[in-house]
Amino acid sequence: MRWRSSHLPLLLVLLLSLLTLTPAKSESTTSEFRICSYNIQKFNKEKAKDYRMMNTLTRVVYRCDICLLQDVVDPDGSVIKALLKSINRYDGFVYKSVSSKPLGKSATDMQKYVFIYREQTASVIGQHQYESKPQVFTRAPFAVHFQSMKTRVNKFVLVPLHSDPAQAVQEMNQLYDVFETVTKLWDNLNVMFLGDFHAGCAYMKKTDKKNIKLFANTSFSWLIGDKVDTTVREDTSCPFDRIVVHGRVFLKAVVPYSAKVFNIGRELKIQRKRVRKMSDNLPVEVRLKSSALLLQATPLLFLLGVVQLLRSL
């Protein structure tokens, strides 16, 4: 092989694309943006002391850019502090949290909504505790306005709901009011609802759907379908945990068919009884498309460079 000066531009292209390729790969296994939701029943001090459970939860959260945790029993914030410590002990992403106050109708069952998010890819630009009179919700949604330059929508609102099973239908219907409130508040129509809605089995029948505005109105897309099983137990199959997005713009920013249950047992090779010790529910997740078109094009550029170089030799 003889060196020809005509190779120089090609080599440059190769070198350049390699340079841009490397950080994209090391930053994350995928350049997409993952949003997760997990009802981790009674996540309290006792659970936080269970080293193996914390380790599993750390692995669950670390996959996500934003992870909503529900049923967090943490009046003084020490439980989430311990979880963040466990997540941030790695020399990688840094995670932060934003929490509601303890919510509930009975003093013995007060729960927080907590969003854990990656500092490198997401930031909080607003938060709002929804209130209505009369109060329909047992734990009214704590909406958070997020910004992420990594996603195509850039700014979006997450509305969590862990419903009371006995009034799941009324609470899901009331989400439309929350939608109207937060879209006005932040002038943003990109709204995602997520959480354990109890949207199935005994708590929501097919005939209840017409009484839920988010079902009746086609502007809202239910990404986790009615046939999905979000429970851990083998003898139950219920689509309790859901993800719903509003509008075409947001829907187009979602990776098609990426909304799914994260089966902790199968994916992380953990026994079912240990998974159940954490919660009866499994996490659900969805991915948003990356805004970085250049990064997506880089591997192609690299390939073209190689082909050209080989042809010219």
Ligand X SMILES: *[C@@H]1O[C@H](CO)[C@@H](O)[C@H](O)[C@H]1NC(C)=O
Minimum distance from residue 285 beta carbon to ligand X (Å): 24
For residues 63 and 213, which CB has a smaller minimum distance to ligand X in the complex? 213
CA distance 306 to 159: 47
| Number of chain positions touching ligand X (CB under 6 A) | 2
Query: Which of 204, 239, 210, 200 lies closest to 223 in space, CA to CA?
Result: 239
Residue 80 CB, shortest distance to ligand X, in Å, is 34
Exposed, middle or buried: residue 253 (CB in 10 Å: 0-12, 13-18, 19+)?
A: buried
Q: Is 211 in the site for ligand X (CB under 6 A)?
A: no
Question: Closer CB to ligand X, residue 113 or residue 193?
Answer: 193
**Residue type at position 230:** T
What tokens appear for 7 in the block? 């190779």
- The answer to the question of residue 312 lying near ligand X (CB under 6 A) is no
> CA 48 to CA 139: how far, in whole Å?
22
Nearer to ligand X, 217 or 296 (CB): 217
Task: Kindly state the smallest distance separating residue 213's Cβ from ligand X, in Å.
Answer: 7
Per-residue tokens: 136: 């329909």
What's the closest the beta carbon of residue 281 comes to ligand X, in angstroms?
28
Side chain identity at 135, as an amino acid letter?
Q
Tell me which of 135, 217, 296, 312 binds ligand X, using CB under 6 A: 217
Residues 6+ apart with CB under 8 A from 164: 137, 138, 139, 171, 198
For ligand X, the closer of residues 219 and 296 by Cβ is: 219
CB of 221 to ligand X, least distance (A): 11
Nearest Cα neighbor of 171 from 110, 242, 106, 223 is 242
Q: From the list 219, 237, 296, 312, which residue makes contact with ligand X (rule: CB under 6 A)?
A: 219
**Residue number, 24 or 251, with CB nearest to ligand X:** 251
Q: What residues make contact with ligand X under the rule CB under 6 A? A: 217, 219
